[in-house]
Chain A
Amino acid sequence: MSTTSVPPRERKREIREQAVIRFCGDSGDGMQITGSQFTNTVALYGNDLATLPDYPAEIRAPAGTLPGVSGFQVHFSSSDVYTPGDSVDALIAMNPAALKMNLADLKPNGILIVNLNDFGETDLRKAQMTANPLEDHSLDAFRLFTVELTKLTRAALKELGLDNKTVDRCKNFFALGMCYWLYNRSMDGTIRWIEDKFKSKPVLVEANRLAMQAGYSYCEATEAFQISYEIPPAKLKPGVYRNISGNTALAMGFVAASQKAGITLFLGSYPITPASDILHELSTYKNFGVITFQAEDEIAAITSAIGAAYAGALGITSTSGPGMALKTEALGLAVAVELPLVVCDVQRGGPSTGLPTKTEQADLLQALYGRNSEAPIPVLAPSSPGDCFWIALEASRIAIKYMVPVIILSDGYLANGAEPWPIPSLADLPDIPVHFEKNPEGFQPYSRNPDTLARPWAIPGTPGLEHRIGGIEKQDITGNVNYEPLNHERMVRLRAAKVAAIVQEVPDVVPAGDPSGDLLIVAWGSTLGPITAALKSERAKGHRIGHIHLRHLNPLPKNLGEVLGRYDRILVPEMNMGQLVMVLRAKYLVDAQGYNKIQGKPFKQSEIEQKIEEMLD
């Protein structure tokens, strides 16, 4: 394809406040890479953004089939972004299956780019389509652009002498190049990434770069697009930013916590979707002295972390729902021996294997209550990818200060979703003081700090502190084995009182929006975005609405009951069957109403808006 000879044409460029774009194709088509490259580019440009990667649990379902469809959605804007977007402005569908699975989310008159070369009879059959949508006018409501992506990519790369299979793997970069033209973005960042990614294979650097540039030039040269879009940078708070996903933020947060505490970070983990990236990420931080132990199973993952905590390290373990279930007994042990430990549960759809790659919030009651007997554990939930960093620090700080296991409830959406994140300075990080008991004089393993009720952290190797701990009931103060009825009740109440005392670390809630009024929305975790967006639009209509987003789910903030009483109605949207709402109703005797979505997908802004209006009708 000769592109240099064609002079650039005068084309309309339209300024838009925001855009939502989704790349979708076969799971072998590289849609996640394409999406994250586009994301990095718009982030570097200064847009605010949110992303929604959506990929199947199967590594490679049969090519071209419906179960094999993988997608990546980016919402980027010149104003604040709260969600990845309810519907999309531009959809890039690499095959009929991707088109079928994603078309419903494309706005009327939205841009639809499809790879014409993958709409043959076989392709349609694999997608269980009887008619060709490119020919039957079923796509008339959209601005359809059929592009011979495969053919054009092959033409662009023909000089390189690569086989067709390798060449065809570059067609996602052709599509990416088109999108860069469509949204007036520079290809430089992605070229740098390609050069680094394929540095050992120069021919692939060339191939991907050429494919992307060919896609860009194709738009430049053809009359296909009469218009391109410009989304100016957002007015973010001044500072240095980077793009961050929840799992990366958790990993970095734990490194920061171990540095602030001055102790070794030990991660015991067993690979599980969608938490594995925490293990991957931390395993690259050996230069921080981080020990990552890929255990033989979920149980060894947590028990090795308990062993490391006993040794005086910051012991953590990362998992998802099924792994969480397996760790239950060991969590009880950590409660009984009162050692610091942080457990990250990156929630996914369940029960059982459920929806490994989809998001859900249905492990709340498991985290709060899912152990034998009375085994209270503090529970924290981050509300955005960047917040995961701060939650890791907060959980580590509480675990060490109170000598207690702490559960972090992240979810698949936070784990893989990304947002621009203002990089904190080291001075902004909380201190995490660590005190190892050294003094044998009057040492008792279950004596307690009067403020926190924490027992001393007395680690092996300390002369004169030899003592025994275990999961069997202990005598108050001495820690000796004890089965006396009143001692048991005392110990149960002490352990509960210690967790309850953590409330002194929990800031009072201040509702966003109206401080009192018609409706209060109470929520937690990754639903922050759509609720914030819906709150804004519904308040603009004159409704008096407040919103509380709980980061601490146990113990709950001191003033929560009082705040609940300031509103006529309470709405609790959750991606589960109503778990927080059950806790609130039980604890505060309020008539809170649940709004529940269990589809493996985050709430849309419009869904929350609709529910608010229904409640206020």
Chain B
Amino acid sequence: MTTATLPVYTKKDFQTDQEIRWCPGCGDYAILSAVQSVFPELGIPRENFVVISGIGCSSRFPYYMNTFGFHTIHGRAPAVATGLKVARPDLEVWVVTGDGDSLSIGGNHTIHMLRRNVGLKVLMFNNRIYGLTKGQFSPTSEIGKKTKSTPYGTTDRPFHPLSLAIGAEATFVARSVDVFQQHLKETLKKAAAHKGSAYIEILQNCNIFNDHAWETLTERDARSEHVVQLEHGKPLIFGKNRDKGIRLNGLELEVVALGNGVTENDLLVHDEHDPRPSYAFLLSQMELRPGFPTPIGVLRAWGDVPRYEDVIADQIRDVQAKRGIGDLAKLLHAGDTWEVRP
């Protein structure tokens, strides 16, 4: 790596000359734009960025990023990226995936990447549908949903991606929305600052096969009633007039109206650094209950777990310090040998 001062990058430096092949109106455009805006600000040489994807609409992402990029096979991006990151811990590796790629065919790699805490940033575009194969239900589709492969409605209970990630003890878990540009960029920057695995669910609209999937959250009027923005150290308040809050009652969350004796001091104060996954898990299940808003922002950012690639490199250094650097001739002659004389 050079020690010369970093060039001043702009968004343009991260755009490619390739024709973008997403449908007009696809939420992916907004996410691409946010990423291209954030990368120049991270203080990382462009050649050190690698964007790795699997298969699906979202996975075309690397072709549109002027960085190193690898469009791999369905579901396997976390495994390819793990090999890359372990071999080259100095690289800044981002994985782009979708709800089918990450949670269905690639579910196994996702959870194992998270438990190992490999230093990868994962952008999981959740549109609750299979887009590239033209409209089958996905592992995040709501039960009963009628799709091309389920004309009578799905019979599958869906995954809640952040619950799954927290269950795998992910050290950084966040959620943002394709159209909340400012929030999305801030969330990406926070993920970039995290050392271990960062799993970001980005609620993304597929205007062809599952339009309006997140409409209750994104419609301008409804937004503040149905979304609670998590901010570290601040109470959980939401509502158009910021008149509602979330309170902890035993092991349950409850929605309370502010006033009538209920003040901000009674509300749950968000602590993204809480080492217990149980707290973040509670947040990740919030919107499943009637009357509750959907939390966005960083649910969990626990920095005390070492990165996988560092643990591996440290172990190699330790062994080399103890046993000395390997000597091939000695290796070949190890154990019992005998000489046959002429």
Write the residues of chain A forming the contact surface with B, with a CB cutoff of 8 angstroms: 40, 43-46, 189, 236-243, 252, 255-256, 259, 264, 266, 268, 285-291, 293, 295-297, 299-300, 303-313, 315, 329-330, 332-333, 337, 423-426, 459-472, 480-481
Q: Tell whether B340 is near chain A: CB-to-CB under 8 Å.
A: yes
Contacting B68 at CB < 8 Å: which of A40, A286, A460? A460
Whole-angstrom CA separation of A268 from B84 in the bound complex:
11
The answer to whether B328 and A256 have CB atoms under 8 Å apart is yes
With known contacts A337-B70, A460-B48, A481-B63, A287–B79 Cβ distance under 8 A: no
With A461-B1, A471-B73 given, is the CB distance from A466 to B66 under 8 Å? yes
B47 touches A330 (CB 8 A): no
In the complex, A28 Cα to B169 Cα: how many Å?
40
* Contact in complex: A311, B87 (CB < 8 Å): yes
Once the chains bind, are B86 and A423 in contact (CB under 8 Å)?
Answer: no
Please give me the residue from chain A that is nearest to B326 by CB atom: A288
Residues on A with C-beta less than 8 A from B329 are 425-426
Chain B residues with CB under 8 A of A285: 326, 331
A223 to chain B, nearest CB (A): 34
Selected from A237, A287, A471, the residue in CB contact (under 8 A) with B320 is A287
Prevailing SS type, chain A contact patch: mixed
Q: Taking CB as reference atom, which chain A residue is nearest B341?
A: A238
Check if A462 sits within 8 Å of B324, measured CB to CB. Answer: no
Does the CB pair B83–A303 fall under 8 Å?
yes
Closest to B21 in A: A481
Report yes or no: B323 in contact with A287, Cβ–Cβ below 8 A. Answer: yes
Q: How far is the CA of A424 from the CA of B328 in the complex (A)?
A: 11
Residue B220 is within 8 A (CB to CB) of chain A in the complex: no
Q: Please list 21 pairs of residues, one from A and one from B, whose beta carbons are closer than 8 Å in the complex, sorted by A's number.
A: A43-B338, A238-B340, A240-B338, A241-B340, A252-B331, A255-B331, A268-B83, A287-B320, A289-B326, A300-B76, A303-B79, A304-B79, A307-B70, A307-B81, A329-B73, A332-B73, A423-B337, A426-B329, A460-B88, A461-B90, A467-B68
Q: What 1/0 flags go to B301-332 for Cβ under 8 Å of A?
A: 00000000000100110011001111011011
Instruction: Establish whether residues A310 and B80, one from each chain, have CB atoms under 8 Å apart when the complex forms.
Output: yes
Instruction: Check B338–A46 contact: CB distance below 8 A.
Output: yes
Interface centre among A237, A259, A304, A315, by most chain B C-beta atoms within 10 angstroms, is A304
Question: Which residues of chain B are within 8 angstroms of A426 by Cβ–Cβ distance?
Answer: 328-329
B305 to chain A, nearest CB (A): 18
CA–CA, A157 to B87, complex, Å? Answer: 52
Known A287-B325, A291-B316: A266·B86 in contact at CB below 8 Å? yes
Find out whether the CB atom of B335 lies under 8 angstroms from the CB atom of A239.
no
B45 CB–A CB distance under 8 Å: yes
Most-contacted residue by chain A among B79, B85, B323, B335 (CB, 10 A):
B79
Residues of chain A within 8 A of B85, CB atoms compared: 307
Q: Which residues of B contact A471 (CB under 8 A)?
A: 71-73
Contact among A40, A286, A472 for B71, CB-based, below 8 A: A472
Q: How far is the CA of A460 from the CA of B91 in the complex (A)?
A: 8
Is the CB–CB distance between B83 and A238 below 8 Å?
no
Name 10 extra pairs, CB < 8 A, besides A238-B340, A259-B328, A310-B84.
Answer: A241-B340, A295-B112, A304-B83, A309-B83, A461-B68, A466-B66, A468-B16, A469-B69, A472-B71, A481-B63
Q: Residue B252 at the A interface, CB < 8 A?
A: no
The answer to whether A241 touches B63, judged by C-beta atoms less than 8 angstroms apart, is no
- List A contacts of B65 (CB < 8 A): 468
> B150 interface residue, CB < 8 Å from A?
no
B336 touches A44 (CB 8 A): yes
Output the least CB separation between B86 and chain A (Å).
6
> In the complex the two chains form, is B336's CB within 8 Å of A308's CB?
no
For the complex, is B333 an interface residue (Cβ under 8 Å from A)? yes
Question: Contacts of B16 on A, CB cut-off 8 Å?
Answer: 468
When the two chains form their complex, are residues B47 and A464 in contact, meaning their CB atoms are under 8 A apart?
Answer: yes
The answer on a CB contact under 8 Å between A242 and B331 is no
Nearest CB of A to B296, in Å: 30
Q: Is B2 an interface residue (CB 8 A)?
A: yes
Closest chain-B Cβ to A557's Cβ sits at a distance in Å of 29
In the complex, which residue of chain B has the Cβ closest to the Cβ of A299? B76
Task: Say whether A468 contacts B70, CB under 8 Å.
Answer: yes
Shortest Cβ distance from B109 into A: residue:
A300
| Residue B342 at the chain A interface, CB threshold 8 Å | yes
Residues A293 and B82 in contact, CB atoms below 8 Å apart? yes
Return the chain A residue nearest B78 by Cβ: A300
Question: Complex Cα distance A310/B68, Å?
Answer: 10
Give the interface centre of B67, B69, B84, B91 by most chain A CB atoms within 10 Å.
B84
Partner of A291 from the list B81, B86, B90 (CB cut-off 8 Å) is: B86
Contact of A236 among B50, B76, B87, B340 (CB under 8 A): B340
Q: Check B62 for interface membership: any CB of A closer than 8 A.
A: yes
Closest to A41 in B: B336
CB-nearest residue of chain A to B82: A304
Inter-subunit contact A461/B88 (CB<8 Å)? yes
B339 at the interface (CB under 8 A from A): yes
| B18 touches A (CB below 8 Å) | yes
Whether, in the assembled complex, B46 has its beta carbon less than 8 Å from a beta carbon of chain A, the answer is: yes
Chain A CB within 8 A of B155 CB: no
Contact A307 B87 (CB under 8 A): yes
Asked if B182 is at the interface of the complex by the 8 Å CB criterion, the answer is: no
C-alpha gap A417/B73 in the complex (Å): 37
**B278 within 8 Å of A by Cβ?**
no
In this complex, what residue of B is CB-closest to A470?
B71
Contact A286 B319 (CB under 8 A): yes
A285 to B2 alpha-carbon distance, docked (Å): 31
Are B340 and A237 in contact (CB-based, < 8 A)? Answer: yes
Considering only CB atoms, which chain A residue lies closest to B16 in the complex? A468
Closest to A238 in B: B342
Question: Complex: how many Å from CA A330 to CA B75?
Answer: 11
The chain B residue sitting closest to A289, CB to CB, is B316
Judging by beta carbons under 8 Å apart, are A481 and B340 in contact? no
- Does B108 sit within 8 A of A, measured CB to CB? yes
With A237-B340, A293-B82, A330-B76 as contacts: A469 and B109 at CB distance below 8 Å: no
Interface pair B337/A481, CB less than 8 Å apart: no
| Bound Cα distance from A44 to B80, whole angstroms | 45
On whether A304 and B80 interact (CB within 8 A), knowing A240-B337, A242-B335, A470-B71, the answer reads yes
A45 to B339, CA, bound (A): 10
User: Are A465 and B319 within 8 A (Cβ)?
Assistant: no
- For residue A196, give the distance in angstroms from its CB to the closest CB of chain B: 11
B91's contact among A240, A315, A424, A461, by CB below 8 Å, is which? A461
Between A40, A424, A463, the greatest number of chain B beta carbons within 10 A of the residue's beta carbon is seen for: A463
CA distance A165 to B83 in the complex (A): 46
Also in contact, A300 and B326, with CB within 8 A (given A239-B340, A306-B80): no
* Bound-state Cα–Cα, A40 to B335, Å: 10
Given contacts A256-B328, A285-B331, A304-B83, contact A469 B336 (CB under 8 A): no
Q: How far is the CA of A297 from the CA of B75 in the complex (A)?
A: 13
With a cutoff of 8 Å between Cβ atoms, the chain A residues found around residue B70 in the complex are 307, 310, 337, 468-470
| Alpha-carbon distance between A46 and B339 when the two chains are bound, in angstroms | 8
Q: Which residue of B lies closest to A337 (CB)?
A: B70
Question: B residues within 8 A CB of A461?
Answer: 1, 47-48, 68, 88, 90-91
Beta-carbon nearest neighbor of B342 in chain A: A238
- Knowing A303-B72, A330-B76, A472-B71 are in contact, say whether A424-B83 is a contact too (CB < 8 A): no
- In order of increasing CB-CB distance, the 6 nearest A-B pairs are A470-B71, A307-B83, A304-B83, A288-B326, A300-B79, A311-B87
A468 to B59 Cα, complex, angstroms: 12
Q: How far is the CB of A480 from chain B (nearest CB, A)?
A: 6
Nearest CB of B to A255, in Å: 6
Q: Which residues of A are found within 8 Å of B312, using beta-carbon distances?
A: 291
Please state if A297 and B90 are interface contacts (CB–CB under 8 Å): no
A45 to B82, CA, bound (A): 47
Docked complex Cα distance between A414 and B324 (Å)? 31
CB of B338 within 8 A of CB of A44, answer yes
Residues of B within 8 A of A297 (CB): 108
> Contacts of B112 on A, CB cut-off 8 Å?
295-296, 300
Q: Which of A44, A259, A310 has most B Cβ within 10 Å?
A: A310
Q: Within the complex, what minimum Cβ distance (angstroms) separates B209 from chain A? A: 21
CB distance from B35 to the nearest CB of A (A): 15
A307 in contact with B79 given A242-B337, A285-B326 (CB within 8 Å):
yes
The one of B62, B79, B337 that contacts A468, using a Cβ cutoff of 8 Å? B62
